[in-house]
Structure 1
Amino acid sequence: MKITKYIHSCLLLEQDGEQLLFDPGTFTFADGTVTPATFRNVSTVVITHQHPDHLDVQALQEIVRLSRATVLSTQEVADQLKPQGLPVQVVEEGLLTVGAFWLEAVPVPHEPILDSELPQMLAFFINDKVLNPADSFSPILQRYKRVEVLILPVMAPFLTEVRVAEFVRQLEPQQILPVHDGYVKDFFVEQRYDTYEPHFAQQGIQFHRLSQPGQSVTV
């Protein structure tokens, strides 16, 4: 499986000629480096929750128009997108097959945010090897301890380096792919990676420095 990062939490997964896209949000398209046309060949788009940094409605409309992809998400997102004419296959919990991908959807709580109502949100375990927790560090996710690849939010208003490191200590993944860092300058992303990479290396965990849009790993 090839995983390509396109700014913040937007990830393109490719397996056996199929493309699965996670969370094309506003930060992904903010400076024009990435456009909806980048995703014209996707078969399915998964939106983990309705926050704008994970869901850019205008961009999603264009992606679906170009690709005719199916959109999977929560009932909350489906209700939001219905007036826009975007049909959503509502996912609540459990296993589903999407082409070459096997997904386990897990309802999880969003990490606390100041003065904000928390959205419905889904984490996904993909092909028995990749865990995308969305914006959750819930103990629910400890069932995936020693997962091969952890998609790891590394920066957010609701996070500290210590909180990130503790979540990794609990899950003990083999590899980390950092996300949720698309709203800060490149030099700060690199500085933060300079902190995380040796810290996790001491635990025998590989940290993939995907700091530029279009960089990828194969797992």
Structure 2
Amino acid sequence: MKITKYLHSCLVFEQSDFKLLFDPGTFSFAEGTVTPEMFKDVDAVIITHKHPDHIDPENLKKIIDISGAALYTNSEVAAEIQKIGMNAELIEEGNYTVGPFKLRAIPVVHEPLLDNPTPQMTAFVINGKVLHPVDSFEEKLLEYKGIELVILPTMAPFTTELKIADFADRLQPKRILPVHDGFAKDFFLKQRYENYTKHFKQKGIEFINIKPLGDSVEV
């Protein structure tokens, strides 16, 4: 299974010639380095919640139009995109199969934001190897302690580095793939990645210094 990052929290999972796109949001498309055409061959798209850095309705519609991909999300997002003529199949809780991928959908609570209502959000375990908590550090996610890879938000207005490190330290994954960093300048990203790498190395956890656009890891 290959995972490719396209800025912020936009990821493509690839296995057996099937591509599954997660959360193509506004931060990925903001500067034009990522375009809908880059995803013309995806087979399915999952939207985890309605925050704009995880969904860009205009560009999502373009992706679906040019790829013909199936779209999956939760009830709240589905109701929103239906207003612009898009339909989605619901994935909210339990076990699902999308192409070659075995998904476990977990309803989770988004970390609190200033003056912002809490959205419905779905975390995922992919093929039993990857935990994608999205924007949540809920205690129940620690059930997956020791998992092979966690997709970890490494900077955000809803958290601090101390809280991020504490969650990952307790989860004890073998590897960390950093996301939710699309608003950071390159020099700052490099500095923070170096800091995380040093911290997690002491815990026996590999922090993957992935490039923010088009770089991949194998799981």
Instruction: Give the shorter-chain TM-score range.
Output: over 0.9
Q: Report the equivalent of 1:53.
A: 53
Q: Report the equivalent of 2:11.
A: 11
Cα deviation per residue 1:40-88 (whole Å; 9 max; x = unaligned)? 1111101000000000001100000011111111100000000111111
CA distance in 1, matches of 2:92, 2:212: 33
Q: Report the equivalent of 2:175.
A: 175
Aligned residues of 1:13 and 1:19 also touching (Cα < 8 A) = yes
Q: Report the equivalent of 1:119.
A: 119
State the Cα distance separating 1:173 from its structure 2 match. 0.2
Aligned residues of 1:96 and 1:103 also touching (Cα < 8 A) = yes
* 5+ residue gaps, structure 1: none
Q: Superposition RMSD on alpha carbons, in Å? A: 0.7
State the Cα distance separating 1:211 from its structure 2 match. 3.0
**Structure 1 residue 103 corresponds to structure 2 residue 67:** no
State the Cα distance separating 1:159 from its structure 2 match. 1.2
CA distance in 1, matches of 2:167, 2:120: 21
Percent of paired sites with the same residue:
54
* Structure 1 residue matching 2:83: 3-state secondary structure: helix
Count of paired positions: 219
State the Cα distance separating 1:97 from its structure 2 match. 0.4
Q: Report the equivalent of 2:164.
A: 164
Aligned residues of 2:8 and 2:212 also touching (Cα < 8 A) = no
Letter in 2 for 1:9: S
State the Cα distance separating 1:170 from its structure 2 match. 1.3
Aligned residue runs from structure 1 range 1-219, under 5 A: 1-219=1-219
Aligned residues of 1:189 and 1:211 also touching (Cα < 8 A) = no
State the Cα distance separating 1:29 from its structure 2 match. 0.6
Aligned residues of 1:190 and 1:211 also touching (Cα < 8 A) = no
CA distance in 2, matches of 1:132, 1:212: 17
Letter in 2 for 1:111: E
CA distance in 2, matches of 1:89, 1:150: 25
Q: Deviation above 6 Å: which 4+ runs of structure 1?
A: none
* 5+ residue gaps, structure 2: none
Letter in 1 for 2:141: L
